[in-house]
Homo-oligomer: A and B are copies of this chain.
Amino acid sequence: MDVAVSRGSLRIGIAAEDFLPWIGRDKSGKLFGFEVDVAQDLARVLGVRPEFVETPFADLLDALTAGRIDVIISAYSITTDRARLALFSVPYGQTDYYLLVDGKSLPASASDGDYDVEGYKIGVIADTIGEDIAARSFQKAEVVPFPDDNASREALSKGEVGAIIAATPIPNFMMMMEPDRYAIGSEPLYSSSEAVAVRPDSLRFINFIDEWIEENQASGRLQAARDYWFDSLDWEPRATGENEADIEKPAQ
């Protein structure tokens, strides 16, 4: 914390891959998304400039350990594997993972087990929790890794895979757009909590971050941000690069 304050900037590790509504780039390459807002607010309360260090998702923990970044703020789920090398804050988000099925490939079914058949392809994003979930949940189906969320969704859309592992709110958005085509299982395959990660010796910093999250939760500001990014598509013109003047920003 003191290092960032004396440097005058917070080095934020954020995924180089697009993963909207969490993380994306507009047509000019400018970062935006829920995680970007969260990170900017942390820099603001620290009184420093946010310095985004775009890093492949799979390399974020290495970048933290090596000191190239001060924090990971990147829809980063708490796992014991990661907790071996990082301290986590209290969670500021919760994500459910569903099997999102293209009804063209197999009929919608009440049981996810019905999709675990030879020759059925399930798309995942490589090196994420989704890949682990697929490996655990499906033994017969083929798990196909994609470099990022766009590639995985495109493969589903083109019929190259029959289903993908998708994190909320993505399944909702897909079903809204093509309600006759996509369906999800009734139960999430997995759920995880997202938090800020810092280096293991930063106990003081993590306590500060915890209180910032507590304040934003108690005050309702965190929920307002979640409503904008996860329960609306008001942010979508920002992704497609339409006139900024038309874009409705979240109330802060």
Give the interface of A toward B (CB within 8 A): 45, 78-84, 87-88, 91, 94, 190-193, 200, 203-204, 206-208, 211-212, 214-215, 218-220
List B contacts of A81 (CB < 8 A): 45
A191 partner, pick from B79, B94, B190, B218, beta carbons under 8 A: B218
**Which 10 A/B pairs are nearest by Cβ-Cβ distance?**
A83-B211, A45-B80, A80-B212, A193-B218, A191-B218, A83-B208, A78-B214, A78-B211, A192-B218, A88-B211
A219 close to B203 (CB less than 8 A): no
A219 to B207, CA, bound (A): 24
List B contacts of A80 (CB < 8 A): 45, 208, 211-212, 215
List B contacts of A91 (CB < 8 A): 214, 218
**Nearest Cβ on chain B to A185's Cβ, whole angstroms:** 14
A220 to B94, CA, bound (A): 13
B191 close to A219 (CB less than 8 A): yes
Q: Closest residue to A44 on the B side, CB-wise?
A: B80
A-B contacts, 14 of them at CB < 8 A, read: A45-B80, A78-B211, A78-B218, A80-B208, A80-B215, A83-B212, A84-B208, A87-B204, A88-B214, A191-B218, A191-B219, A193-B214, A203-B203, A203-B207
List B contacts of A212 (CB < 8 A): 80, 83
**Nearest Cβ on chain B to A41's Cβ, whole angstroms:** 9
List B contacts of A219 (CB < 8 A): 190-192
B220 close to A191 (CB less than 8 A): yes
A94 to B217, CA, bound (A): 11
A220 to B191, CA, bound (A): 7
List B contacts of A208 (CB < 8 A): 80, 83-84
